[in-house]
Amino acid sequence: MFRRIAFRPVDAVVRHLAVTLGVTCVTAWFSYAYFHNDEYFQVIELTRAKLGDVDPRLLPWEHAQRIRPWLQPFLYWLVARALGAVGVRDIFELAFAFRLLTGLANVGALALFLRTTLPWMTTDDEKRAHTRVVTLLGFLPYLFVRTSSESGSMAALTAGFALLLAGAAPGVGGRVWSVPALARTGRPLGVGLLFGLAFELRFQTAILALALLAWARVVGKGSLRGLGKVALGGGLALALGALVDRWGYGAWTFPAWTYFEANILEGAAGLFGSDPPLAYLWLLPANVFFPVVLALIALAALAWLRCPRHPLTWATLPFFVVHNLIAHKEERFLFPIAVLSTALVTMALGPSFARSPRGLGAVTERLAAWGWARRRAWPGRALAAASFAGMTLLAFVPLGWHHNVRFTRFVHETFGDELHATALPEVDLNLPAFHPRIYDVDKADPAEVARRIEAGTARAWLIADRPALRTGTSLDEHATLVYSELPVWRDPVLAERALRLVERYNASAPSPLRRLRFRSLYRLPRDAGEARTAPDGRPHDRAE
């Protein structure tokens, strides 16, 4: 793929892609938790319903309203059926296959993107910097393996962009572009198909696709015939999506319209919170990649100012602006442009992207020269170290803010497809991700649970969001901790120290930082006189 690229040695590009591929595969294996609820409940839960593991009546409200597309659950359903034929039916094993499939699709799209954009870099230093940023940016493998619509659409969008712009290059002064892909037989049809699939996965990607096609016509001087073929390819993708949605809902529907109607016209999106314009400036950096994301936001703004006629500016800037104007904001909404945005780094700093040194151009060029000169000094090295540290952490630790998947995985491995338990008041009784087929959990306060133990009517298991009960009732004496999401729960001394730190954090953490909770499982005696089992971390029976 890269033998025709002038940048030497070619093996360096292949090695970088190999690292990306390896880290993505490792992350797919360990990252069994999810970033957001929708990653499971709007995709995998629908797949499980079609596999017969979930009662369709228990699906989220979006299913009843028919506002979610079925394309991604359908693709995962095909994978599950194929693996089921060889005996793989465990939901956690299937979820790994789904993550790996999505990750490989994104790595392949990234390789196409690198092949398309690398010739846009004039000097070897720019090519080298671009290659390193595109392939080694720390958060990409984590985003690649998410089973969310945002990650699925990222693969399709990136590949479509790469195919549309393949062979395109700026002319004199970077102001004259041509889009030879639009004149190639079959290429525009494939571009349209990929853009259409991206839309079927994530409706908001239409903003980017339309902006990019506008660039192809206005700046790239693409032919109407070629753009018509792109539109035809998009129509084929929409037709495929309609068939899949008919399979999913059992009736003909157009989820894109019902989604718009429910979330925009009826204001359903506002029920999940709203933020002021430009809130992404502080929402996006609120993670372990804080300094890296801050730098990327600043460099993206600089790249947009330096290169207003560049296709990447036309593709990413409208997408970013529109999402800032929408009241409900979440970091994941910008994931589809993650790969495209990597090229903005070199566009912001590279000498060959210089603009006229007049007015605002003089300011941008001074900033670019300052940043380019320090890319190998301590600022650049510090950002690279932070990126590598975050990538390593996310590759091996199943981090996620909105989940209790570690707890559910323990339940799955211990109880199988049936759980009967009582939960304390702080526990959300909604179905958790990867829940067993039978999830029979009632709720009671500590005094009521203690009374049930005395009466001999208590269930065998208690769920709490704390690895130390401290309820002030006899429950504290009777319950035996057998599992907690707190990593050091087995060591009482370390657990106590950790809990003190957590309590301090929870008492002072401002929004948008989230409170820390650790879902835990306790074994309860059948009556107050029953001897407690040793806290060995393993329950002694599989159900109540």
- Verdict on whether the full-model pTM lies above 0.75: yes
Rg (CA), the chain: 26
Mean pLDDT, the chain, rounded, equals 89
Strand order in the sheet with 480-484: 438-443, 418-423, 461-464, 520-523, 480-484
Reported as a pLDDT band with limits 50, 70 and 90, residue 359 is: low
How many CB atoms are located within 10 Å of the residue 402 CB? 15
**What is the per-residue pLDDT for 510?**
78
pLDDT above 50: residue 363 = yes
Helix (H, G, I), strand (E, B) or coil at 170: strand
Best-predicted range by mean pLDDT among 3-7, 239-243, 304-308, 525-529? 239-243
Helix (H, G, I), strand (E, B) or coil at 188: helix
Reported as a pLDDT band with limits 50, 70 and 90, residue 528 is: low
Quick one: which of 194, 195, 153 has its CA closest to 42?
Answer: 153
Strand partners, 464: 520
325 or 527, greater pLDDT: 325
Mean pLDDT of 390-406: 87
Over the stretch 172-193, which tens digit does the pLDDT of each residue have?
545 567 888 887 778 999 999 9
Over the stretch 248-306, which tens digit does the pLDDT of each residue have?
999 999 999 998 888 777 776 666 778 899 999 999 998 899 999 999 999 999 999 99
Helix (H, G, I), strand (E, B) or coil at 55: coil
Helix (H, G, I), strand (E, B) or coil at 330: coil
Distance of alpha carbon 445 from alpha carbon 404, whole angstroms: 21
Amino acid letter, residue 191: V
Over the stretch 60-119, which tens digit does the pLDDT of each residue have?
888 888 999 999 999 999 999 999 999 999 999 999 999 999 999 999 999 999 999 999
Reported as a pLDDT band with limits 50, 70 and 90, residue 402 is: low
Helix (H, G, I), strand (E, B) or coil at 421: strand
The Cα-based distances of 319 to 42, 71, 91, 133 in angstroms read 23, 22, 35, 21
**What is the per-residue pLDDT for 383?**
95
Give the orientation angle of helix 124-136 with respect to helix 10-30, to 10 degrees: 10
Quick one: which of 150, 146, 155 has its CA closest to 405?
Answer: 146
Distance of alpha carbon 388 from alpha carbon 141, whole angstroms: 11
